[in-house]
Structure 1
């Protein structure tokens, strides 16, 4: 039997929250409408099984909303339950409307709510979802237990809320309110154990399932609910008897969590509420995800985001973010996804280069990085245009002048200056150089640093090299393999450096892209000689 949908149109946030909590636990799909206008919009879209309608709404009345909804051809058979503090006085106005099958006097208790809705569904036909926003009325009955933490997303992001709960190893349920839906994150020790929603339909999730999970689509009817009903209890028994494979079920639950989390981040969340008292349902205790937010978002980007157009900008690169208070829990990430993170630093690196480094396809690399971006772990930055230079200069005056040149935006040169071979190795480990300017030393003849010796021909295939030599007339000759390279002698001036740099041939490496040479291997081989 499919989940029945209840559309609640009520101005009271307390009423909406109480109805949502108790009817969701009873196995219904609950859709909330804070305004009459929203209810009128949602009704023809959702075609709910029943509408719980507040009589006193801002700027209108329940009876006006009811008449407008049943005037829609697709909504004419939806039954209504009217709730009001005016009790029978209000209900009399609806006597001539056949769709109104019962009333619910305010304030009401959860037990009466569930009995009334169940009875009305037995009498009524299918119902359409609507949302209503209303006036303040005396609030009800046994409200949902106060949340431990709540607020709206006008001042904080969903990522920050989940990071806070993860950093504090919190246990409980985080409820996220979207415009049309509510999503619950079950947490234990701060990690995500399950993500559910009673307003998102199992069919929505099933439509995105990969082929390997298609056969489990009917199971979503159980896993998408709050997990507190007899049907779910029976489902858990099947797991305990080993009738179902818990590993395959966990894969389905992970996809479900990825889909719902993706919705929360792609849509505009409105408010949140964290309840530390809520326990994890038996189904999710049996098959917990034990995942970080980043792990879920990468999964979501890989599975749900693949339908979005992939736009890889060759002029954009990826950098690592370091946010204050950011949570870096990496549970749920694969080995290559973790490896991808290790290659990121403060300098933007192109997607193509990162894909080569971790041996993933361009699409997989982009989707993984996009998941990290939504988690705020990485960011996109324009790859420096112009000419990227790595310079090795041990002379203090010379290195200072080179830094000044590279920092000057009036010329096309940018890059880094190091003063020893170790610094050169660290820098090249992070990013391929478009150009090299390297000091040469030696007593009998001037040679490159040991880490580059014997690699000149290979380097020159893609990377132009300029040389820095001691004062002219007071230095040995260049080694034969270096005789054709451009040389600048100390002491040199700003203009002299630019003259030499501008005479270097064009680099064969597009900015921010791989040279095709493994510079790490090149350096390590040279160093071992």
Structure 2
């Protein structure tokens, strides 16, 4: 039959209603089932009734102490495999009393910090699985595990980059687990024969990984709470059993695990990491052995960036390729287009737009691929400032034939300071915005009730990308400009090259020129049926 994978139950024993409410709120958001007790007696009763996966125990309780409650609970046969997380304002002094109780796997200082609470609970659940396994098998509890699993080497990531550490392990064909620690999370990379087999983190918010899932994998999102453990949890064992019974598709699950690995790897490279430890004796989880990701670091970083819903870095950059020290391109996991991009790059700086054009890719996708390669340190980038650039790119949507000729004339007469394209239809303009990386966009306004940009144009994205926008208003129109365009400069037909040059978007003069046709929409107010547009005359 189907293996039931239950949500972990956390029993909270604390006399403070405020703390119980806070813990319940934060842990419930993480998907745990939270059971609460305000006294030691109630805690003992609930421990026997609910068989929790972990007990969060306050050291100072009314009429008793945490250690007394702990020993009472462990005296019952059905409770002997439950791990404890002890909390106290005394921390070290209190924790000493529990040193001879192997089920107490960690302590948590008060007052609680939400991130530390979540991380401590996640880590304690993992250690608790080891306790359960050791007690069922009659072997020693985690002290023995610690003795066996001495790190082969460890260090501070302020002095070594994570890329250097992973390259050392993969190029040296090392086998084991690389543990990477930050202030909030502990992420584990399982490595075998020079390849990353999987990346997990019990403390990481699975919702962040779920949010990045492609549509084809959305239905597998609930499995993430079971695939993130570093050990062989009951839930992960359930997944393995489903695979053995052909009730879960291996290829689909591998895609999920690779997505998980890509998101976690990208997160590690984008956020400060404090320290690392490499444990060569640590076996990878059974699920990972059965369904290995078997990927390269660069492949995971590029996949993590390409699949991310975060906005790609805006602005034109020049890119060069680094010396790759003989990596085998066939084993990277990169797509043919991504490998082609690398083959185009050399020591000569090339712009993002140029690369996108050569590959036939959208500009955003090209940026994301390059960001992944940059994180892997396979490429270098230099942002191109206006001062450094030979020319600024202008794209214009101008249906009026005479006005379009004026814009083209401006480009021709700019002495190489401008380059670009002028189109008269909306679709061509939309494609230009996707395929090019303009610094300036001129957009003709249309509309009967209000003047607005074409429906295909996402004005919000253009503003956020830092592109200079100049709106074009029809000649003699009394129709108001849409409120969403407030603050953007506009010019009214008919206009000349001189009028365009007076705009600060092209070449700001030292002093404003009175009587310019260029204006800025400062505010739009409704006054009954009358639309009042306040404009600032002169150079916008």
Q: Using structure 1 for the length normalisation, give the TM-score.
A: 0.51
Correspondence list, 1:454-493, <5 A? none
1:312 to 307, 311, 314: 314
What residue number does 2:41 align with? none
What residue number does 2:202 align with? 198
Alignment partner of 1:229 is 2:205:
no
Alpha-carbon distance change, 79 to 284 in structure 1, aligned in 2, over 3 angstroms: closer
Correspondence list, 1:356-395, <5 A? 356-383=357-384
Q: Is the 8 A contact 1:222 1:232 kept in 2?
A: yes
Matches of 2:334 and 2:119 in 1, distance apart? 39
1:3 to 4, 8, 28: 8
Matches of 1:338 and 1:296 in 2, distance apart? 14
Q: Is the 8 A contact 2:178 2:190 kept in 1?
A: yes
What residue number does 2:185 align with? 181
2:152 to 139, 148, 154: 148
Alignment partner of 1:212 is 2:216:
yes
What residue number does 1:352 align with? 353
Q: Is the 8 A contact 2:11 2:55 kept in 1?
A: no
Q: Is the 8 A contact 1:108 1:141 kept in 2?
A: no
Alpha-carbon distance change, 385 to 220 in structure 1, aligned in 2, over 3 angstroms: closer
Alpha-carbon distance change, 44 to 352 in structure 1, aligned in 2, over 3 angstroms: farther
Q: Is the 8 A contact 1:355 1:361 kept in 2?
A: yes
Question: Once the two structures are superposed, what CA deviation does each residue of 1:108-156 show, in whole Å capped at 9, x if it has no partner?
Answer: 464x347x99xxxxxxxxx954879xxxxxxx94435201121121100
Structure with the greater alpha carbon radius of gyration: 1
Matches of 1:185 and 1:387 in 2, distance apart? 41
Q: Is the 8 A contact 2:329 2:339 kept in 1?
A: no
Root-mean-square deviation (Å): 4.3
What residue number does 1:46 align with? 26
Secondary structure at 2:70's aligned position in 1? strand
What residue number does 2:162 align with? 158
Secondary structure at 1:81's aligned position in 2? strand
Matches of 2:279 and 2:143 in 1, distance apart? 19
Question: Once the two structures are superposed, what CA deviation does each residue of 1:262-282 show, in whole Å capped at 9, x if it has no partner?
Answer: 221222111111111112222
Alpha-carbon distance change, 370 to 6 in structure 1, aligned in 2, over 3 angstroms: farther
Q: Is the 8 A contact 2:301 2:372 kept in 1?
A: yes
Q: Is the 8 A contact 2:200 2:228 kept in 1?
A: yes
What residue number does 1:295 align with? 299
Q: Using structure 2 for the length normalisation, give the TM-score.
A: 0.50
Give the Å deviation of 1:163: 0.8
Structure 1 runs not aligned, ≥5 long: 8-38, 52-77, 83-90, 118-126, 133-139, 389-411, 414-463, 465-503, 515-529
Alpha-carbon distance change, 45 to 331 in structure 1, aligned in 2, over 3 angstroms: farther
Question: Once the two structures are superposed, what CA deviation does each residue of 1:87-114 show, in whole Å capped at 9, x if it has no partner?
Answer: xxxx6x544479885377443464x347
Q: Is the 8 A contact 2:352 2:367 kept in 1?
A: yes
Matches of 1:169 and 1:289 in 2, distance apart? 16
Matches of 2:328 and 2:25 in 1, distance apart? 39
Give the Å deviation of 1:226: 2.1
Alignment partner of 1:333 is 2:334:
yes
Give the Å deviation of 1:233: 2.3
For CA contacts below 8 A with separation 6 or more, give which structure has more relative contact order: 1
Matches of 1:375 and 1:196 in 2, distance apart? 19
Q: Is the 8 A contact 2:11 2:56 kept in 1?
A: no
Matches of 1:279 and 1:165 in 2, distance apart? 16
Matches of 1:206 and 1:348 in 2, distance apart? 37
Alpha-carbon distance change, 212 to 505 in structure 1, aligned in 2, over 3 angstroms: same
Question: Once the two structures are superposed, what CA deviation does each residue of 1:29-77 show, in whole Å capped at 9, x if it has no partner?
Answer: xxxxxxxxxx99x9698348799xxxxxxxxxxxxxxxxxxxxxxxxxx
Give the Å deviation of 1:323: 7.0
